[in-house]
Structure 1
Amino acid sequence: MAKSFTWINWTPTFPFARERTAWLAAARSAIAFGAEVVDRYGDVLGRATHITQLFDVLVGLTAIGLSEGSVRDRIAGLIADERDAVSAARR
Structure 2
Amino acid sequence: MEHIKKLYVSHSVKEVKDYVSEVSGIISFLHFSQYSLSAKSQTSKSQEFRQLVKDLDKTCTTLNSFLSRAHTKLQEGLVMGAKEAEKHCLRNAKERVLE
TM-score w.r.t. structure 2 length? 0.33
TM-score w.r.t. structure 1 length? 0.35
Say which structure is richer in helix.
2
